[in-house]
Structures are given as C-alpha cells and as structure tokens.
Amino acid sequence: MSLRRRVAAASRIVVKVGSSSLTTTAGGIDPERVRSLVDALAAARRRGAEVVLVSSGAIAAGLAPLNLPRRPRDLATQQAAASVGQGLLVRGYNEQFARHGIITGQVLLTVDDVTRRSHYRNAYRTFARLLEMGVLPVVNENDTVATSEIRFGDNDRLAALVAHLVHADLLLLLSDVEGLYDGDPSRGGATMLLEVSSEADLDAVHVRRTGSAGLGTGGMATKVEAARIATGAGIPVVLAAAPRAQEALAGEPVGTLFHPTGRRRPTRLLWLAHATEPKGRIVLDAGAVRALTERRASLLPAGITAVSGVFVGGDPVDLVGPDGVPVARGLVNYDSEELPGLLGRSTRDLARELGAPYEREVVHRDDLVLLPSP
C-alpha cells in the first residue's frame, strides 16, 4: 500500500491547527475558518477514523475581548489572554461539531502530565476512554497556568508527542502555507517538496521561524521539528494548508508528505527527550558516560563529579560528560541539595552510613533517554 493510501486509511489521526489558521489578524476567532476545519474532521469521522485535534488559538482568541492589539510578550498577560480565549475557542468548536452530532472534550496538558511516571499512564487512559466513547478530544497546553510551556511550546511539538501518546496512524499539521518549500516561498522561485523521505531531503530546505500573522509562536521550523519527532517514532506526517484539510485526510496529493523514519519508543521517554527543559546538570566521569551510553546502565553517585542547578526529585536534568556535552536526560531521584555530599561514593557505603534509602540510583535507566550527538 502506498503511503498516501495509508494516509487515507488512517484509523486514528491527530490534527494540529495553528492560530493563524483560525483567527483574524485582529485576534478574534474566524467562524468560517473554524467551520471549514470542523467539516473536514467530521468527514474523517464519518469514514470511521478517530480524531484528536490539537488546537492553538486560545491566546489569540483572547486578544480582542481584552482590547489587546497584538500578542503580549509578558507571561502574566499571555496567561490572562489564554484564560479568556480558551473558553471562546472551545465554545466555537462545540457549536460547530454539534452540527455533525459530535461531542468534544477539552484536554489541557503540561509536560508533567506525560513525563512523570505517576501521570503519563493516566493521560493515555484519558485519551483512550474519550475515543472509546466517541468523543473528539480538543487538546492544548495548559497556557493559563503553564510557565515554561508557553515559552518553549508551539503546539506543533505538542501535536507530535500527542500523536505518539495516543498511538496515532497519522499526524496532519495544518498551516497557512501549502507545504514545505526548498526556499523562501514569499520571494518566488521556490519549489514545494511533495515528499520527504529522509533527513537528507531537508538539507537545503528554507524554514520560517515566525508565524505569518504575528499571532502564533511557531513557524515552519517548528513544523519540521514536529515532523522529525513523529516520523522518528514511526508516524507519517502530512503538512498542508488548512483550507485543504479534507483533501489531505483523503490521501490526495496535497501538501508535503513526510515518510516514517523510525519505530515507536516508550512514550514517556519521547516526551522527556523533546518536551522537557532540564532543571540542572549532572557532570559524569568518563566511566559513567560509557556505562550509560554503552551498557544502558543506571547512574550511580560514584560516577558523578559535579552538580549545578536547583531541582527536586522527579525533575528532568541533563547528564553531561567531562567535556560538558549532554549525553542523556533523565528524571533525578534526589534533590540538588542532597547530591553534593554523595558524589563519588558507592551506594553500598552510602546505605551503610545514611540508611537504605540512599542505596537508590541517582537516575534509573528506565527514566533516562540518550541524546543525539551534537
């Protein structure tokens, strides 16, 4: 079966739409754009597909009601706009999907929901149950209370990670351009790539780093990164213009089709690698680096030479070699205040002196992901 036919036959689809595809330049929700998107997703539902929608637009939708002329730069005002706009956005979706007899459910995520062991299984169960009940989940980052999420997040990356979390067969990234070009399309002479089969196809590609309407946080760079995450986990990706969503979902040759390049990996580790900001750095000696990278061992205090940053147990930290280059990221089992007194010591000695709780690993191998070489 060709990949375009696989796209048309996908049974579980994650669709991401950006702010510029939903709103006017003044910041309000455009009812016709929302209606067109909903009609396309409803058509996919009618053929039997399950759909998860990752929607930007909460902050943008809150601008006009608050008389804000543009997207605010300070975090507090962003959060205020998200608080106002999220309800308006969801109401718009509810009204439009109701025309097709489809119930929607709002899912607001933060990184902790899918990186901390106690949370990520619950996130998957929530999605699975919503889809089982015929509900169409509408997903966004929890912008109202998030801090680093608003600063680094762009919802393209979120969509790629959600696609992996829900075991999707397809990720559709909707944009305000037709696809991925080999140059700047605004200057003329650029050619759109119909398919991307490997990393080599991206070598000479031009990517925009800002949203065209000034309302989004992303651009083509974030979409390419999202495509890398999803395809690296075995999920095909289509990047297309929002008005052509129905054609893209039908497997027609629109937009850019990214071929899968890898296989599924544990969901929580994918989020750990791509969605977390490290709270600190733990410097390893050469032996510990080899143990982590070659034997996939856990990190013990004996292999640590230095610690920096402020973190608590369960936070993500970067594990760096003697040269300062990160080799892995993991969820640490100790607070930053505890670690300096443990460095270079064996767990047996620590347990004998301080008690059994200090026999544990600093980072367990199940909570650790190796990072690619720079």
Lowest mean pLDDT among 20-24, 69-73, 212-216, 284-288: 212-216
- At the fourth CATH level, the homologous superfamily of domain 3-270 is Acetylglutamate kinase-like (3.40.1160.10)
Mean pLDDT of 120-146: 85
Residues sharing a CB contact under 8 Å with residue 6, sequence separation 6 or more, in sequence order:
169, 170, 236, 251
CA distances from 219 to 93, 182, 208, 300 (A): 24, 15, 5, 41
Which of these ranges, 12-16, 28-32, 277-281, 307-311, has the smallest mean pLDDT?
A: 28-32
What's the whole-number mean pLDDT along residues 246-265? Answer: 90
d(CA 221, CA 193): 15
Planar angle of CA 274, 280, 286, nearest 5 degrees? 90
The answer to whether 14 and 159 have CB atoms below 8 angstroms apart is yes
Residue 49 confidence class, pLDDT cut points 50, 70, 90: very high
pLDDT at 327 over 80: yes
Residue 147 has pLDDT above 60, yes or no: no
Q: Do residues 19 and 211 make contact, with C-beta atoms less than 8 angstroms apart?
A: yes
pLDDT at 209 over 60: no
CATH architecture of 278-370: Roll (2.30)
| pLDDT on residue 47 | 95
Determine the pLDDT at residue 333: 93
What are the residue boundaries of the structural domains of the chain, listed by start? 3-270, 278-370
Residue 303 has pLDDT above 80, yes or no: yes
Q: What is the pLDDT of residue 212?
A: 43
What's the rounded Cα separation, in Å, for the pair 248 and 179? 11
d(Cα 172, Cα 227) in Å, to the nearest integer? 9
- How much is the CA Rg of the chain, to the nearest whole Å? 22
Inter-axis angle of helices 156-165 and 220-232, to 10 degrees?
A: 20
| Model confidence, pTM | 0.79
Q: What is the pLDDT of residue 150?
A: 39
Specify the pLDDT at position 216: 43
What mean pLDDT comes out for the span 334-353?
Answer: 89
The confidence score (pLDDT) of residue 206 equals 55
CB 166 within 8 A of CB 127: yes
Report the pLDDT averaged over residues 42-68.
92
What token pair was written down for 267? 């969901």
Gap between the Cα atoms of 225 and 165, Å rounded: 17
